[in-house]
Structure 1
Amino acid sequence: MEGLNSTVNTSSILLSQLDSLVKELKKDLSDERSSSLLDDIIQLTENLSAVEMGNDKDAELTSRIRASGIALWNRAVSLKTQDSTNAQLVARMRHVACNLTFTASREEESKAVIKKKLAMAMKTGRAWLDVHNPTMADSALELAEECLEKLEKEIPSSSDQSTTKQDTSTEDQRNSFRVKCFRAEAALALSDEEKAWIYFQKAKERLHQLPQEVAIST
């Protein structure tokens, strides 16, 4: 019981610190201050990842971490619309928000949650590519590919698929195509021509699997 109480107390302290940091990041701050706060959140996320699951406080823990991730992600989206915003800072904020979401959902594998994690990881990878940081991009895209692998296990293969299932399958395949293109781009920027060629071929194969009208518009 003492160990359980200690874990709960530790997580409560970490969550309070996280709430405070995210709240401050919603304000108009200098890039230096925002970057410093993001460093603190990265450390907190690592500490929260080490908290053991398996008690009645899990739901509250994951809910608050997820809420912080969403709040930070929305802040990044808001900053992106401002012409004067540092794109590097936005990419970093997306990355931290993505990590929080993955931490909050580490025990949850519902399709809806996996899709949300995929979207965030994919957009984070794209953001890093746009600021010419292929190393960080590839780390985010690797998470995206892990999500895709989980989703692809559920893609129906029978000829009598429902329209809804076909639409979902097409969406997953389109996202798979994009992720492979992004990973090829990252590998090329890192001068890893062999890896870039592998992902180019994978993207090409995925493109051929898409319906023609979808492939043309992708």
Structure 2
Amino acid sequence: MTAQSPEPSPRPASSGELRASHDDREAVVEQLRDAAAEGRIDFEELDSRLEQALRSKTHAELAVLTADLPAPHAPGDQPALVLKGGLYGASRGPERWDVPGHVIAHGGVGGVKIDFSRVESRLKEIAVEAYGETAGVTLVIPDGWAADTSGMDPGFGGLKDKTSADRLPGTPLIRLTGSGGMAGVVIRHPNRWERRKLHGNPTRG
């Protein structure tokens, strides 16, 4: 009786042959839209490439659509933003500002307030280290943004999380760590007065 030879193992797929996910396609769509906004491709070509991107099934098919475009800026290349309350306090926002993927806030004796109300971010997550120290740290995030505060040490001053768990698609998650210190850390959505200012001057900055 002739012994059967073992069947060959399946050949592993190359990176280009790997199936693309929804996130992979969405990343290419965003890169194409940025390229059109910068004038690298015209809008007729943008429509054509977007259609192909949404139909693409593999990484190779997606790669063809961006081969002649510069690589997108990696959020991790941006240095962390460090805010120190010092004697007189520190703040960022509510005017428009470019938020990096990592923010560090030390309340000091003057306190720190970080307002993300007018931030437009494509980051999936923003890591925020907040140390309340003597005067505390306040974070204001837009409606539709959500926060994960499970890594936060409340310290003596505590943590007040007044945010909603309802997160809109395409918005970043604020991943909050650090310590409340003596004065504590507060994370919330805009209050009534802040909302009035936002609605009265929505394009500030």
TM, length-normalised to structure 2: 0.25
Q: Which has the higher helix share?
A: 1
Q: Which has the higher strand share?
A: 2
Larger-Rg structure: 2
TM, length-normalised to structure 1: 0.24
